[in-house]
Amino acid sequence: MKQVDGVILDWAGTTVDFGCFAPVLVFLQIFKTAGIDVTMAEARAPMGLLKKDHIRAMLQMPRIAKLWEEKKGRSFCEQDIDELYASFEPALLASLTEYTQPLPEVIETMKILRESGLKIGSTTGYTDVMMTIVTAGAKDKGYEPDFWITPDSTAGYGRPYPYMIFRNIEVLRLAAPWTVVKVGDTAADIKEGIQAGVWTVGVVVGSSQMGLSQAEFEGLSAAEKTRVIMNTEQAFLDYGADFTIKTMQELPELIERINMLIRQGKRPCRLERN
């Protein structure tokens, strides 16, 4: 009987960069430079998408679209997206080395998973150029998956398209979508996993969905932590996730649970939720 043979992880907000702040801060910056004040929530909402798609999604938000028309005297166009992205990329590249610290328990959990015989893949909303910085920094600090891929290698089709996950399955020689677990911290991660037909898991603490820095989270009272965790878990379930985990430390136990479901003939199923 087959069981889970691979885990595919997101990067910022899941395995590195607690709170996924590297891209968020730059999105705030480039829109402010263009004369548009966007909120942290607006900047986070499309997180996980290819970054140019992320900018497009922000410009399509009713409040931002209205502000853009008031400021520019017209609706946004593709040239505006290109110009914003032209500002975004160098600003992000200049800061990425500061955001490659693995989240707590990630390195230890990867060791446990590998000792269990699992392959470790990854997908991202970053580009190849961005990932050369992120992967090098993470490797220096002890985290390195077996494979990573960006939308640059799937003709620009990033999340929620499933193609990056399919490439992981191919390269890592994983048995089937239902023997794969995708872990991420955004709506786009969950939708990517759903589209690929794999088990999807939202990781809560350190996620972009939670939206707190490590210091902010640790400064919460026990009651506040409980509330924030519950709200984040519910958001992932609303997106269609099969499961949630508070931190990576819970992943090996969850995989054992999924293996039991597989032995019972269960498969990822979300038709009831959609």
Chosen domain end from 38, 71, 98: 98
Question: Are residues 168 and 69 located together in one domain of the fold?
Answer: no
93 and 104 in a single domain? The answer is no
Q: Do 207 and 132 fall within a single domain?
A: yes
Domain end marker among 98, 115, 134: 98
Number of domains in the chain: 2
Q: Do 251 and 143 share a structural domain? A: yes
Annotated binding residues for Mg(2+), written as ranges, equal 10, 12, 185
Tens of pLDDT, residue by residue, the chain (274 residues): 689 999 999 999 999 999 999 999 999 999 999 999 999 999 999 999 999 999 999 999 999 999 999 999 999 999 999 999 999 999 999 999 999 999 999 999 999 999 999 999 999 999 999 999 999 999 999 999 999 999 999 999 999 999 999 999 999 999 999 999 999 999 999 999 999 999 999 999 999 999 999 999 999 999 999 999 999 999 999 999 999 999 999 999 999 999 999 999 999 975 344 3
Specify whether the CB–CB gap between 4 and 179 falls below 8 A: yes
| From 5, 17, 51, 53, active-site residue | 51
Q: Which residue range(s) make up the domain with 28?
A: 22-98
Active site residue 139: no
Task: Tell me which of 10, 53, 189, 242 is the catalytic residue.
Answer: 10
Q: Which of 169, 136, 129, 133 minimizes the C-alpha distance to 152?
A: 129
pLDDT at residue 2 in the model: 85
Inter-helix orientation angle 251-263/106-115, to 10° = 40
Which amino acid makes up residue 21?
A: F
